[in-house]
Structure 1
Amino acid sequence: MSINNLLFELVAPATALGAILVLLFGPVFFPRAYIWFLLTYFSTFLYISINHFLKFCLTVRNIKRNIRNWSAQQEHQSMSRDYDTKEVVKSSATSNGRITPTRNGYTSVPMSSNFESDNRCNEMESVLKLYDEGHYIHAFVIPNYKEPEPLLRDTIKRLAQHRNATTTYVIVLAMEESEVEQASKAASLKRNFDGSFLDFIITVHPKDVPGESRGKGSNVAYAAREACDQLMRKIDKRRVVFTITDSDSAIPELYVRHVEKALMESEDPYSTICSPPIFFSRNAFNVPAAVRVTDIMWSIMVMQNLSNPRGLAFPCSTYSLSMILAEQVGFWDTDKDAVGEDLHMWLKCFFKTGGQARSVPIFVPINLTNVETTSYISNIYARFVQAKRHYNGVADVAYSLKSAFNSENRSSEAESMSLYNQNTTNYPSSPGKRLSCLMSCSFVDKLVVVFHVLEAHMIPATSGWLMFAAVPITQFLLISTYSPLADYYPDFQNPIVTSDFYAYMFSLIQAVGVLLPMPLLLCAMLYEGLHKTIDSELFKKGSSETRTWKNYADYAWLPFSAWLFMTLPSTWACMKRLTRGEENYVVAEKIFTEPIVE
């Protein structure tokens, strides 16, 4: 390993360990520098949090607009069908048997008194028109390991209910050989959905492959390659779009329609990664409030990230990209440094294509399932295990740094980009569109990507320690009359006491510290309104099935959730980078009961 790569690997553990050491020894050995450090850290954190809130506002607006457009269009179609039915009944009652035209000369669609509704319908009609053309074949890769069969059946059934499922959908059920009952489970699912899709492919990822790390990434990599081999025999690969999802992802038809729209309108659909927000509503009332509010915060962070104006938004859990792009970057990585499969694949596509691969946000939420077990304590523990697995994605800190600044990686990137351009030049864009490569990755783009990766992993590993403990510990060590420094350091010069300037600085730190949670709480308030809109207008849930004002009490668990499900697992993941150890392949437990069909 080169010296640069070694330094990049040390960034994560050094940051996590440094936060703890600075917290404990900063006030003692370098109090003035420590006060400056706290003010800088708190101010930066507050700026980032305000920026997150503003971006979250944009995401919320776009999600609500898409949902309301969709609802208006559905209502418009329903009114049209009802009107057509009435006209047929009326015409059959006339003496001459002919349809009597209305005053406006139209018999199929009535004039609407709501112009806003008409505009929404017109916008959705354009989306529907693109979707109806069926230009793309959607291959849904569903990796799973020891997941309940009813949960998988429900997830696939929701896709089967989409209008174009039988003509443009391919299910790729990615099984693991190490699961004892995988064969019978896969056969049962395929038999259950016979004729519901264009194709139903079952792949079985071999166990104990040398150099591979067990997890979603290696399973997806194997399944995607196998699906490519089978689909390319009968379908033009330029038409195939992979949607990587989780076993518990409920994907609305609206998401697929907006993916079609994004690809059809993109100047280069083969460098487009479609990234939706995630949403937890399938079993939220069955889990502890601490688990529920943790996943809400997770959703908020993913949602705000999507409103990045440069297309540098990271996907989470579910995302879509062309088979061409997956093939050109060498599919998904399978080593233990690629355990955060969604973010890692995005980074790989971005760097391997010289920055041409960018995100297009799809503002349609994907409904996921919270971790759920049989008891309260076991549910808390299961969520902690899941958090540890999620934060193992800290390996992407070193990967992004190496890809951005290592000369060897830049040379490899240039070769990959050249190969990418050579291959994609022969692939025309969607009908009516001309292939136009996005601007090459600039140094600024690389810095922005690296910053967002550091933000995603280093803030969780440091904020819990510094935000919650820095001010109280500083007060105890430097201000309290019971300070141990008075006994052990009789000559110690306390800057907060001896200097008006540093006393003012510490007061400013305390004031900023009070403001730190405010943007997050504003996001939570905004989220509550969004949650109700999604539940009622997209998923058609009744008022008794969605969140109410009583659920605001969930946020009292935030300090506990932040420590247990963010600070501790992220710090552990960072420190584990020193040994580069690998944990057992353990999936989060989910209890799922299929709804009874009457």
Structure 2
Amino acid sequence: MKAALLNYPFELVAPMVAIGSVLLLPLGPLLIPRTYIVFLLIYFTVFLYTQVNHVFKFYTTATKMTKTIREWNLRSSKSNAEKTDNSTTSPPSPTTTRERITSVEELEEMETALNPQDDSHFIHAFIVPNYAEPEALLRDTIKRLANHKNAQTNYVIILAMEASEVNYEQKSNSLADYFKDSFLQFIVTAHPADIPGETRGKGSNVAYAARHGCAQMLQRGIDRRRVILTVSDSDSSIPELYTNEVEKAFNRAEDPYFLLFAPPIFFSRNCYEVPAAVRMTDITWSAMVMSSLSNSAGLSFPCSTYSLSMVLAERVGYWDTDADSVGEDMHMMLKCFFKTDGLARCCPIFVPINLTNVQTPGYLANMHARFVQAKRHYNGIADLAYTLRNSFGVKDTMLDGNHVFASLTANKTSMYAAPSFWLDKLVMCTKVMEAHLIPVTSGWLMFAAVPLMQFILFPPHSMVAFVEPSENPILTSEFYSNLWNIVKIITVFLPLPLFGTLAIYEHLHRVVDRELYRKSESRTWRNIFDYISLPVAAWAFMTLPATIACIKRLYKTNDKYIVAEKFFDEDNED
């Protein structure tokens, strides 16, 4: 109780920032004009610097994505060519083969030399949480996994249903029957709606499914060290290249059981069937995720789809299920980071996961559906208080679940828990604040701060003057007058990093569509008109929902479990 009271001030940070951003617009020029100018100068300068930095990081991510895709295509074409050549050549006789392998040591060397992608020893367990999603969409998502080469021998599907969904059993039984011979194991879980202390949503569904799914795999005798859990959205199109790259990164890592593997997200499945503002919102969203992945220290966050070992999931007590963990992807990375004393890191996997834009019949209905989705996404602001509390607050005493395999990493924890953990915590706080406070502040300040201050202190006519020229604190000081001019100049450059990001994205989108997904249709020069909708997208799907989510932290409402509506035509899907 005492810890909760001491930690409570961290809960006020987000709502105070949101309210302060709005109140500063009229009150700043009137009450503290000089201080307000200094604040705007610092805010806009820092914002411009971070956005320019993100452009370079995004370019790095885009370059690595392109390289990964093209190397995969090259290997695939070589493999196909070799198969064609081998089919025309008679296989060696058994006698010849036995003559070549003269000892057990040679046999072991030969097995070691085999490509691990050809005979993977990893078990990939895909958790697919869903609630009231179209069965056709789920079938399509799982079917894409079933088409992977090792699906029957190395893939486990954990279909995470909600028990409160009407006729969920009929849907899950239909899917289980459809894929009965496609995977090593097909597990169905039904998350109850009345578990005390839980907040319903993706996080609690994933937590329930992971615990029960992992228990079933262990009962079957599967070694937990071989299991890689992948959390997938119901509309995630996961290419085989992703699992290959995860395995490659896992094998190369010094401490793979401390890693979360995070791919970029990509929206191309139905992007031409939604309003331009919806399309542009998801493009900028995916670009922000991509830029954050190119962090040399591994201090970044997964989004939507990501992977981690069963060992790490058990070590931290699986996923949290309370009201402060609704943003389950970022929250899980933060939880792993804090529960391992800063050892957990995010490992980028440069393979895009193709998602579906929110889609409903009707233009305005589609816009409203995206707004509802944005409000749900920005409820992840709860992670700000969680991060501050774990970095600077009084920690509550709690159990981290069943640490069955903590002994694997116990020595490394004590050996590498260096003082840099404190610096890493500061970096994580900065990144969480950037992710959640920039949307709620930038919309108000970037769009309205300078014009409103110009109107209040330098009105177009004396009849609407709020301050007499002789008492104007800007006009009476050459220093602050120069600062004000600098602020106005900086605001001209603020949109430029966004334009640079979008220019890189335009090229990247075409590469991914044509070279990875083999789509004949991609973005064209006509899509340049999408950019006209950017101001609408920024306000409707970023600033307003982020502000609402921040202010709601004052009273912490328990929202209903809703999902973004998606229209899905299985026959027309590529």
TM-score by shorter chain over 0.5: yes
Deviations 1:313-361 (A, max 9, x none): 1000000011111111111111111100000111001000111111110
Say whether the 8 Å CA contact 1:244–1:319 is kept in structure 2: yes
Q: Rate the CA distance shift 1:552–1:128 in 2: closer, same or farther, 3 A.
A: farther
Kindly indicate whether residue 251 of structure 2 is the aligned counterpart of residue 275 of structure 1: no
Kindly indicate whether residue 237 of structure 2 is the aligned counterpart of residue 250 of structure 1: yes
Deviations 1:398-442 (A, max 9, x none): 000001112325x76xx9699698522489xxxxxx999755461
Deviations 1:522-558 (A, max 9, x none): 000000100000000000111xx11111112111111
- In the aligned structure 1, how far is the partner of 2:182 from the partner of 2:212? 21
- TM-superposed deviation, 1:449: 0.4
Q: Counterpart in 2 of 1:457?
A: 436
Kindly indicate whether residue 330 of structure 2 is the aligned counterpart of residue 351 of structure 1: no
Q: Counterpart in 2 of 1:472?
A: 451
- TM-superposed deviation, 1:79: 2.7
- TM-superposed deviation, 1:502: 1.8
Q: Counterpart in 2 of 1:321?
A: 308
- In the aligned structure 2, how far is the partner of 1:216 from the partner of 1:300? 23
- TM-superposed deviation, 1:482: 2.9
- In the aligned structure 2, how far is the partner of 1:40 from the partner of 1:317? 33
Q: Counterpart in 1 of 2:571?
A: 595
Q: Counterpart in 1 of 2:208?
A: 222
Q: How many residues align?
A: 551
Say whether the 8 Å CA contact 1:476–1:482 is kept in structure 2: no
- In the aligned structure 2, how far is the partner of 1:464 from the partner of 1:265? 42
Matches within 5 A, 1:199-598: 199-234=185-220, 235-409=222-396, 422-425=406-409, 439-440=417-418, 442-482=421-461, 486=465, 489-490=467-468, 493-542=471-520, 545-595=521-571
- In the aligned structure 2, how far is the partner of 1:147 from the partner of 1:380? 19
Q: Residue type matched to 1:497 in 2?
A: L
Q: Counterpart in 2 of 1:189?
A: 175
- In the aligned structure 2, how far is the partner of 1:236 from the partner of 1:219? 24
Say whether the 8 Å CA contact 1:353–1:420 is kept in structure 2: no
Kindly indicate whether residue 152 of structure 2 is the aligned counterpart of residue 169 of structure 1: no
- In the aligned structure 2, how far is the partner of 1:538 from the partner of 1:498? 61
- TM-superposed deviation, 1:500: 2.4
Say whether the 8 Å CA contact 1:478–1:485 is kept in structure 2: no
Deviations 1:171-196 (A, max 9, x none): 00000011002100000001111110
Q: Rate the CA distance shift 1:190–1:128 in 2: closer, same or farther, 3 A.
A: farther
Q: Counterpart in 1 of 2:98?
A: none
One of 51, 71, 74 as aligned partner of 2:73: 71
Q: Counterpart in 2 of 1:51?
A: 53
- TM-superposed deviation, 1:14: 0.5
- In the aligned structure 2, how far is the partner of 1:82 from the partner of 1:132? 17
Say whether the 8 Å CA contact 2:311–2:405 is kept in structure 1: no
**Structure 1 stretch 131-140 or stretch 463-472: which is displaced more?**
131-140
Say whether the 8 Å CA contact 1:127–1:257 is kept in structure 2: no
- In the aligned structure 1, how far is the partner of 2:415 from the partner of 2:533? 47
Q: Rate the CA distance shift 1:568–1:420 in 2: closer, same or farther, 3 A.
A: farther
**Structure 1 stretch 553-562 or stretch 565-574: which is displaced more?**
553-562
Kindly indicate whether residue 164 of structure 2 is the aligned counterpart of residue 178 of structure 1: yes
Deviations 1:134-189 (A, max 9, x none): 22111000000000000000000000000000010000000001100210000000
Kindly indicate whether residue 37 of structure 2 is the aligned counterpart of residue 35 of structure 1: yes
Q: Residue type matched to 2:296 in 1?
A: P
- TM-superposed deviation, 1:238: 1.3
* Structure 1 runs not aligned, ≥5 long: 92-97, 99-125, 428-433
- In the aligned structure 2, how far is the partner of 1:23 from the partner of 1:497? 20
- In the aligned structure 1, how far is the partner of 2:293 from the partner of 2:368? 30
Say whether the 8 Å CA contact 1:221–1:334 is kept in structure 2: yes
- TM-superposed deviation, 1:82: 3.7
- TM-superposed deviation, 1:499: 2.3
Deviations 1:339-393 (A, max 9, x none): 0000011100100011111111000000000000011000000000000000000
- In the aligned structure 2, how far is the partner of 1:538 from the partner of 1:395? 36
Matches within 5 A, 1:49-128: 49-85=51-87, 87-88=88-89
Say whether the 8 Å CA contact 1:268–1:435 is kept in structure 2: no
Q: Rate the CA distance shift 1:262–1:437 in 2: closer, same or farther, 3 A.
A: farther
- TM-superposed deviation, 1:269: 1.6
User: What is the SS of the residue equivalent to 1:387?
Assistant: helix
User: What is the SS of the residue equivalent to 1:171?
Assistant: strand
- TM-superposed deviation, 1:501: 2.1
Q: Rate the CA distance shift 1:339–1:422 in 2: closer, same or farther, 3 A.
A: closer
Q: Counterpart in 2 of 1:159?
A: 145
Deviations 1:301-321 (A, max 9, x none): 000000011111100000001
- TM-superposed deviation, 1:270: 1.2
Say whether the 8 Å CA contact 2:270–2:356 is kept in structure 1: yes
- TM-superposed deviation, 1:239: 1.1
- In the aligned structure 1, how far is the partner of 2:324 from the partner of 2:232? 20
Q: Percent identity?
A: 54
Say whether the 8 Å CA contact 2:317–2:400 is kept in structure 1: no
- In the aligned structure 1, how far is the partner of 2:381 from the partner of 2:306? 20
- In the aligned structure 2, how far is the partner of 1:536 from the partner of 1:315? 25
* Structure 2 runs not aligned, ≥5 long: 94-111
Q: Rate the CA distance shift 1:581–1:483 in 2: closer, same or farther, 3 A.
A: farther
- TM-superposed deviation, 1:583: 1.6
Q: Rate the CA distance shift 1:17–1:596 in 2: closer, same or farther, 3 A.
A: closer
- In the aligned structure 2, how far is the partner of 1:404 from the partner of 1:435? 18
User: What is the SS of the residue equivalent to 2:117?
Assistant: helix
Deviations 1:431-482 (A, max 9, x none): xxx9997554611000000100000000001000000001100110011233
- TM-superposed deviation, 1:66: 0.1
Once superposed, what is the RMSD of the aligned Cα atoms?
A: 2.5
- TM-superposed deviation, 1:285: 0.5
- In the aligned structure 1, how far is the partner of 2:188 from the partner of 2:402? 34
User: What is the SS of the residue equivalent to 2:128?
Assistant: strand
Q: Residue type matched to 1:424 in 2?
A: L
